[in-house]
Amino acid sequence: MLRLRASEIAAAVDGELHGDDVTVTGSVETDSRLLTDGSVFFAMPGEVTDGHRFVDAAIAAGAVLVVAERPLEQDVPHIVVADGVVALGALAADVIRRVRETGELTVIGVTGSNGKTTTKNMLQAILEQHGSTVSPVKSFNNEVGAPMTMLRIDESTRYLVLEMGASIEGDIARLTAMAHPDLGVVLKVGLAHAGEFGGIETTTRAKTEMVRDLGETHVAVLNRDDERVRGMAAATRARIAWFGTDEGTSDEPVALRASDIDSTLEGTVATIHRGDETWRLRLRILGEHHVMNALAALTVADALGLDLDRAIEALGEMARAERGRMELLEPGGGITVINDAYNASPDSTAAALRSLAHMTRQAGRRSIAVLGEMAELGPHAVEEHDRLGRLAVRVRIDRLVVVGEGAKPIHDAAELESSFGQDTTWVATADEAEALLRRELVAGDVVLFKSSNVSGLQPLADRMGGR
């Protein structure tokens, strides 16, 4: 973070400073275990514990300033605020303002129901070739995680890439007001988190908030293939840079287009078009759906005037999208594991199943899908799990193992869709799934693990992958 005095931070967060006006030289943290000398500790109440309980640990770790929601007994400079989360966001907005005034900061916001983390990682790989780039750790994209990413910048930062997630309407608008993105990317609108939003139309409104609040000098990077994203053009004042798989129209030409998309167990390929120019994209990342994420990242690079040859080369060097996201593991014995169990939505799970079926048919290998619950679907949960069970049969997945009560409609639907139901099994726990797989797997099998993180399949995928 920027070097700031406690009084400057107090002014930014509308808080009351108690103690000396110390200078902060370290990072801002909400976890006392991450603190180093010169850092700021935000002591905030949480769902599991209260950050105020860890003030002593924060001081011992080197924190020189604490931001708290009540006066502290400890002898440490601290700022008292009404709401720690609001204060964190206010400080992030102030730091971005200061860096913009003294540096050449460009902010890129990325939102969408699927693909945010992969696209963020792709942008990091491209942009870091051209200047100091800050992007989220893992998928920090909420009211706490996004400001924490913003607070990692300093005067030397050239690019800031932000994931913008939401659980209710207004969340993305608040993040946009903090960061004021120069470019806003919308990847896709789907049923991820639909239970929290209450339906697809509410999700669409929430994802529209970023492009709605972009200015006339900004760029909205929009997926022309997604009908709901396409409709966002009417909501923004920004210049639109379209990406997709069709050529667009004379009125709405596509900036970058992909064709000849194919995916194997060795990676994913596509031809990228910009007018009459073409490039061959070769990703080590598995799954045809990642071509759209690559297109989004390349469209940002193009809008910034960066060299596309270098950008495409950078994407080709990426070993994986992210841990637990279509990650290829080779445990030995001729078995291949694809760990995609960090997160799941109906769209991403369907894409993973189609990719598995396509890749294994090309390679002449047996496909096995181990599926857990997709969380946060609300009233759509049974219907969407049912739909995926039928899809698994229709794309000819050879063996289906369904784990957990919440995912059981996948198994039930697959049994009904298939002739005899002999290729699908439901088990209650990951341990049962592991025992079944260790009995059944043979050389040549390709096993996909796909679920929301709360289902607990990622550790199983890691074990089965030999990690």
Alpha-carbon span 379 to 385, nearest angstrom: 11
Contact between residue 69 and residue 81 where contact means Cβ atoms under 8 Å apart? yes
CA nearest neighbour of 402 among 411, 414, 390, 415 = 411
Q: Is 114 annotated as a binding residue?
A: yes
Contact between residue 455 and residue 339 where contact means Cβ atoms under 8 Å apart? no
Task: Give CA 371 to chain center in angstroms.
Answer: 20
Task: Give CA 71 to chain center in angstroms.
Answer: 36
Query: CB-hemisphere CA count at 13 Å for 304?
Result: 25
Alpha-carbon span 91 to 96, nearest angstrom: 9
Mention every residue, 6+ apart, whose C-beta is less than 8 A from residue 143: 85, 89, 171, 174, 175
Q: Which phi and psi (to 5°) does residue 161 adopt?
A: -105, 130
Alpha-carbon span 293 to 316, nearest angstrom: 13
What residues are paired with 425 via a beta bridge?
Answer: 401
Left if phi > 0, otherwise alpha if psi is -120 to 50, otherwise beta: which for 309? alpha
Report helix, strand or coil for 219: strand
Q: Is 113 annotated as a binding residue?
A: yes
Q: Is 299 annotated as a binding residue?
A: no
Q: What are the DSSP E strand ranges found in 178-253?
A: 183-186, 219-223, 239-244
Instruction: Give Cα separations from 381 to 109, 192, 195, 204, 206 (angstroms).
Output: 29, 11, 8, 19, 20
Q: Is 117 annotated as a binding residue?
A: yes
Q: From the annotation, which residues make up the binding site? A: 112-118
Annotated binding site for ATP: 112-118
